[in-house]
Structure 1
Amino acid sequence: MASSGRMHDSRGDIHRVPELLDLVEHDDGAEAWDELGYRLVLEHELVFPAGFASLPRLVRLAARSDRARELAGAIVQRAAGGHGCDDLLADCSGAIAELRGLLDRHLRSRPADYLAAYLDLLAVGEQYHWSAAMGDFSDDFYTVSCPHCAAEVTIAIGRYGRYSAIRDWNLGDVDRRDLRPVSPEDLSGTGRWMHAIAARDGQDALAEGITYLFGRAECPCCASIFSIADEYTAANRPVM
Structure 2
Amino acid sequence: MTTTNWGELTHAYGSAEDIPGLFAQLGGPEDDKVWSELWSALCHQGSVYEASWAAMPVLADIALGRAPGEPIQAVLMAGLITADPDDTRREQYAREIGELLVVARGLLTAPGSRDFVYLQMAVLAFEGAGVWAEALEGVTREEYDLECPECEDCLYVAFGSYGTFTSAGDYVGSGAKNTEARGDLTPTPPERLTGIGARLHREAVAAGQGEVALALTYVFGRAHCPSCDAEFSVSDEVERQWV
Shorter-chain TM-score bucket reads 0.7 to 0.9
Which residue identity lines up with residue 143 of structure 1 in the other structure?
D
Q: 1:144 & 1:35 partners in 2: Cα distance?
A: 33
**Residue of structure 1 in register with 2:98 after alignment:** 97
**Residue of structure 2 in register with 1:144 after alignment:** 146
Q: How does 1:1-240 map to 2 (within 5 A)?
A: 4=5, 7-24=9-26, 29-30=30-31, 32-42=34-44, 44-64=45-65, 67-81=70-84, 86-115=87-116, 116-124=118-126, 125-126=129-130, 127-135=132-140, 140-168=142-170, 170-172=174-176, 173-175=178-180, 176-236=182-242, 238=243
Q: 1:48 & 1:219 partners in 2: Cα distance?
A: 39
Q: 2:101 & 2:29 partners in 1: Cα distance?
A: 22
Deviation at 1:101, TM superposition (A): 1.9
> Unaligned regions of 5+ residues in structure 1, if any?
none
Which residue identity lines up with residue 218 of structure 1 in the other structure?
H
| Cα distance change on mapping 1:151 and 1:9 into 2, 3 Å | closer
Deviation at 1:121, TM superposition (A): 3.0
8 A contact 1:53–1:88 mirrored in 2: no
| Cα distance change on mapping 1:164 and 1:88 into 2, 3 Å | same
The residue matched to 1:90 in structure 2 has which SS?
A: helix
Q: 1:12 & 1:159 partners in 2: Cα distance?
A: 40
Deviation at 1:231, TM superposition (A): 0.8
How big is the alpha-carbon RMSD for the aligned residues of Structure 1 and Structure 2?
2.9
| Cα distance change on mapping 1:129 and 1:17 into 2, 3 Å | closer
Which residue identity lines up with residue 205 of structure 2 in the other structure?
A
The residue matched to 1:157 in structure 2 has which SS?
A: strand
Q: What's the CA shift string for 1:41-76, capped at 9, x where partnerless?
A: 22x222221211111221121134663431442243
Q: What's the CA shift string for 1:83-137, capped at 9, x where partnerless?
A: xx653343122322322221221121214434343343344344233243221xx
8 A contact 1:77–1:131 mirrored in 2: no
Deviation at 1:199, TM superposition (A): 1.1
> Unaligned regions of 5+ residues in structure 2, if any?
none
8 A contact 1:129–1:233 mirrored in 2: no
Structure 1 length-normalised TM: 0.79
Q: 2:16 & 2:134 partners in 1: Cα distance?
A: 31
Which residue identity lines up with residue 190 of structure 1 in the other structure?
I
Which residue identity lines up with residue 167 of structure 1 in the other structure?
G
Deviation at 1:29, TM superposition (A): 4.7
Q: 2:143 & 2:222 partners in 1: Cα distance?
A: 15
The residue matched to 1:167 in structure 2 has which SS?
A: coil
Deviation at 1:32, TM superposition (A): 4.5
Q: 1:102 & 1:217 partners in 2: Cα distance?
A: 36
Q: What's the CA shift string for 1:161-208, capped at 9, x where partnerless?
A: 211222156422532233111122221222112111101111111111
8 A contact 1:157–1:212 mirrored in 2: yes
Deviation at 1:222, TM superposition (A): 1.9
Q: 1:105 & 1:216 partners in 2: Cα distance?
A: 32
Structure 2 length-normalised TM: 0.78
Which residue identity lines up with residue 135 of structure 2 in the other structure?
W
Q: 1:6 & 1:131 partners in 2: Cα distance?
A: 34
| Cα distance change on mapping 1:131 and 1:154 into 2, 3 Å | closer
Identity, % of aligned positions: 25
The residue matched to 2:14 in structure 1 has which SS?
A: coil
8 A contact 2:59–2:78 mirrored in 1: no
Q: 1:133 & 1:23 partners in 2: Cα distance?
A: 33
